[in-house]
Amino acid sequence: MITSGHLQTDSADNRGVKLNSAGITAFDDSGKQTVKINANGEGNYFTGTLATSSNAEPGVTIYTDIARGPAGSRSSIIEMRPQEASMQAPKGNYPHGPAGIFLRSG
């Protein structure tokens, strides 16, 4: 067990992963904050790609990076992969445009 008021992977303010009583933050190589988990559960976010499994397995992948995802889109994409074709789960890509509307494309 480690008990500390602050744990971090890098001493620079906007680098690495930081864990303290306020929550968890992470920064990419350019210093942009990519993860915020507030200890009070407010304003939490992850940027980039978040997946529940590898692309070859059933699951959900959320792409939020510019020019990423299956379509190389500038919009966010939610990709759903059911376990097998007979399942009634939605399957395909769901682009999310700036207006907050989901459009089924798969």
pTM of the model: 0.62
Assess contact for 58 and 51: CB atoms under 8 A. no
Stronger pLDDT, 33 or 75, i.e. the higher one? 33
pLDDT at 24: 96
Assess contact for 43 and 25: CB atoms under 8 A. no
38-94: per-residue pLDDT in tens?
999 999 988 888 888 887 788 888 877 655 545 555 567 777 777 765 655 555 555
Question: How would DSSP label each residue in 40-91?
Answer: TS-S-EE-SEEESS-TTSSEEEEE-STTBTTTTBSSEEEEEE-SSTTS-S--
